[in-house]
Structure 1
Amino acid sequence: MKKALLILPLAITVSACMKPIEITSKPVDFARTKSGNAQKVVKLDAAPVRAYTKNADNKRVEVSGASCTAKSDEFVARFQTPATVQFPRTKGKASPMTITCKANDKTGSTQITSRLAARYMSVTSGTHPGAALLVTLVAAAATHGVAQERDHWAYVMDPAAGVGVALE
């Protein structure tokens, strides 16, 4: 526990020294792919995407101007780092997304999966709590697949943290 408490101030101090490159470009939107399922986009989550490499001292350095492609079965976007990307939040689970970036002779990629962001289910009320619970459990089991199609799924759960791609 004491080690963790000592590392936290060090991490905060080091991160305070490294200022991220300012994003000056317009937010990047995704286009739908022809082969993807028609997931309904219910919201856009703007998150920074940054590329990093290591310098001669083996320290992480942000790369400006890396050419990137973010692609899933349903969506595709092309941009240069650093960029604010409008990640789609969908009604129903979307396929995993791979973000690949290239700069000079270095390439890197990362995969992000859509995760449950908001669950929408019907609530059954009854006069007897036991009966309502039984009806709710049976309905939940029967409509599990339907509920997943109603739920909202997001690629980025913490947009402020953004997405980083390591170039090697």
Structure 2
Amino acid sequence: MSTQIDRLRELVQPLAAEHAMDLEEVKITTAGRRRVLQVVVDTDDGVGLDACAELSRQVSEALDARDVMGGAPYVLEVTSPGAERPLTEHRHYRRSIGRLLWLRPHQGADVVARLVGVDEEGIDVEVPGEKGRKPTPRRFAFAEIARARVELEFNRGAGRAAAPSGDESLKEA
């Protein structure tokens, strides 16, 4: 038997694909009598405010045409992932090349390092050196990584371009 989330994913996935977006997450939260349907999408180049608005319009029309949400009122939010969302898919790592990551390996201490490469087996990072020392290269197989996320950087240093923030809709607001 299909759950409500599964039915929502089946409804939203083709609409997101029409916009060359990856459907990252569909979730419903409740607060009292209010329900919020959150649809999280992403692309290699981030998701702009206009793209979120257009997809929101299409999802709203599709929801109105079907009774997937039932009769109770709800609020629809179409958004891009947050800047510090967990990295769980190969594409998440690929989209984060050049950014600073926090990694928790299954064994060993947490690591904060710059992501410099991704392939099918794992990632290559550079651990910043202390007091002017050169960064240390390290390799992590995906199977070695328990958790990972992008670390926010507010001052990356002169002459080096910072990677995109991850939530492009905030830039355009």
Q: Please tell me whether Structure 1 or Structure 2 has the larger radius of gyration of its CA atoms.
A: 1
Task: Report 1 or 2 for greater relative contact order, CA contacts < 8 Å, sequence distance ≥ 6.
Answer: 1
Is the strand fraction higher in 1 or 2? Answer: 1
Q: TM-score, normalised by structure 2?
A: 0.30
Q: Taking structure 1 as the reference length, what is the TM-score of the superposition?
A: 0.31
